Structure 1
Amino acid sequence: MLVIRADLVDAMVAHARADHPDEACGVLAGPEGSDRPERFIPLVNAARSPTFYEIDSMDLLRLVRELEGKDEEQVVIYHSHTATEPYPSRTDITLAQEPGAHYVLIGTRDPVQHELRSYRIVDGVVTEEPVRIVDSYADHATEDLDAAEIADA
């Protein structure tokens, strides 16, 4: 399950809407090993295409160095689909090289309502996962604790 703050979802959706009709792409970084997205990093779609995204190799190198320097990792890798369902394409699956990342797709084909779905992609196998949007991670931790207390009772 992807647990993600609402402000990060809003930022990804705003980026996807701003780049429409081209696909938008970016990363949500978080502390290494945490599986917790904390920081929004929009990237430029070097392909400038409504059906494909490509991250410039120099931008990707800068991103990797920045994350390493801050002991962060790519927790979420996101991009938008502008005219199709937000499901990984064959190209998306082939390019998915981070087995620990959540791959979030944002559908922007409807000008009013976006679609947001998350997947794990490991060795070419796509698995959709639930997304839980929270106001803060502290609230989520409290909700998990409450659920555990109820289960123990």
Structure 2
Amino acid sequence: ISANASRLLGFLCHNLQSTTPHVRKQAYITLSDHTRARFIHLVNLIQKYLIDKLEAIQNRASRFILVIIKNTIQFSVTKLKLSLHPLKTHRNIALLSLFSKYAHAAISPLAHLQCPSYLSHRLLNSHIYTRIYGTSHAFNFSSLPRAIRLWNNLP
């Protein structure tokens, strides 16, 4: 995944050197969104090294888009300037979108989704689900329990 993203950035750097920052940004967003959409469900929280590699490639892309030569810049500032959101945000949005489709499906939702016995409408949103706990660390940090935690934390 990271090799493909790095190869994509190298292709853009080689072919779009003389273009404006706006064109470089649009090309990066268009091609990286396609790649990210295919692989976003594969990247899990356990694979921290892969997320770090992809964030480093995104940092290199922000330097390429703005034609920054110095290595002493703050990438968070340049990403905000370019409106490049962190990969964690994209992963959470994709996970919540998928969970929303399951929770509000025309067919009956997943059997694992249950409403809690007590619901405080003052403190919580009105559409929360009981959290699912497993015996293994890998299951507790997998997609479904994580999606339920994210969903329940929505306002």
| Between structures 1 and 2, the one with greater helix share | 2
- Rg comparison, structure with higher value: 2
Output the TM-score relative to the length of structure 1: 0.28
Taking structure 2 as the reference length, the TM-score comes to 0.27
Which protein has the bigger strand share?
1
